[in-house]
Amino acid sequence: MNKHGGIRKGAGRKSKSEEIKLIEKLSPLDNLAMDALKKGLEKGNFQFVQLYFHYCHGKPTETKDITLNQELPLFID
């Protein structure tokens, strides 16, 4: 058993063929999913609105404010 990373069974991105199989399996549900999204949007449910905009316009870039409390030398001899 590897506790510190390395190769693990089932880890990593699924193969393209597995991805295609999943898409094919889910495709019959497309209309149902779109209807559910539409109903959520019509109700003004925030999660549905957020999901819609993230997919249509992309997730906004996150910004982080970094504050240093002490001076650090740029170069260490």
Full DSSP string of 15-49 = PHHHHHHHHHHHGGGHHHHHHHHHHHHHTT-HHHH
With respect to residue 39, please indicate whether it lies within any of the assigned structural domains.
Answer: yes
Domain assignment present for 69: no
Residue 44, domain member (yes or no): yes
Distances (CA, A) of 66 to 11, 63, 75: 33, 10, 20
Rounded to the nearest integer, the mean pLDDT of the chain is 85
In this prediction, residue 62 carries a pLDDT of 87
Q: Is residue 72 included in any domain, yes or no? A: no
- pLDDT tens digits, 17-36: 988 999 999 999 999 999 99
The reply to whether 68 falls in a domain is no
Distances (CA, A) of 24 to 13, 17, 19, 40: 18, 10, 9, 25
What is the total count of domains within the chain?
1
The closest of 29, 45, 48, 47 to 37, measured between CA atoms, is 48
**Residue 2: is its pLDDT beyond 60?**
no
User: Does residue 24 sit within a domain?
Assistant: yes
Question: Per the domain annotation, does 73 fall within a domain?
Answer: no
Q: Does position 68 have pLDDT exceeding 90, yes or no?
A: no
Bigger pLDDT: 71 vs 29: 29
Residue 35 lies in a domain: yes
Q: Regarding predicted confidence, which is higher, 10 or 20?
A: 20
pLDDT at 37 over 90: yes
